[in-house]
Structure 1
């Protein structure tokens, strides 16, 4: 997990001369899995899911050319991850990417994503 956070911190802050790798010794990776999704509009997403030893979950994906670290939050159904104004919501082998900048019932910005080979 240290490596994941360090890589994202370094890439996100590469333009700043003071950028240092982020290490969080209390957060240790227990397992990870990368899932590739095929979505509407011939779009694809690659999502790396990371579970930690202290039962936290993260999803790492690229949105608009930026690598973002999504944090798992409470969900009534499926798994919901948030980063900035974005929400990645997956259930089973499907998922949708939403932005909080639209209307309450706005369609996903990337939708009907289905895991490859499933």
Structure 2
């Protein structure tokens, strides 16, 4: 049996802020799968001036999303978790939930009934 390996995240800077004299570090994550893998970059319109780009890495059984969060110094790596509908990804207290072309960002510390911090739609530039 052959195993396909992918370097899923290359040169992802560590999330901790660095002092001016510190050397920048990188992190590489390698996922292996016996099946096909997919990397997709989706641009979302979240009502802000600048759209955001989310990278989805699907290598069964691992499903990841790399999401830029305004309050965070670097994009965060989210992992998929069980969801009744759509795909729910979590990273720390952040929840990125996709359903079809729509996505929402929640802060889990605000409670289950909290409104989303962002409501986004896939950017479609097709005329």
TM-score bucket of the superposed structures, by smaller chain: 0.7 to 0.9
- Structure 1 length as normaliser, TM-score? 0.78
**CA-to-partner distance for each residue in 1:44-71, whole Å, 9 max, x for gaps?**
321100011x321000011123210000
Indicate if the aligned counterparts of 2:55 and 2:67 stay in contact, CA closer than 8 A.
yes
- Structure (1/2) with the larger helix percentage: 1
Q: C-alpha separation between the residues in 2 aligned to 1:94 and 1:23?
A: 28
Structure 1 or 2, whichever has the larger Rg, is 2
Counterpart check, 1:12 vs 2:15? yes
- Structure 2 length as normaliser, TM-score? 0.73
Specify the alignment match of 2:44 in structure 1.
Answer: 37
Aligned residues: 112
Indicate if the aligned counterparts of 1:43 and 1:110 stay in contact, CA closer than 8 A.
no
Q: Which runs of 5+ in 1 are unaligned?
A: none
Q: Which runs of 5+ in 2 are unaligned?
A: 1-5
Larger RCO, structures 1/2 (Cα 8 Å, 6+ apart): 1
Aligned-residue RMSD, C-alpha: 2.6
Matches within 5 A, 1:1-118: 1-4=6-9, 6-8=10-12, 10-12=13-15, 15=18, 19=25, 21-24=27-30, 27-28=31-32, 30-42=37-49, 44-52=51-59, 54-63=60-69, 64=71, 65-111=73-119, 113-117=120-124
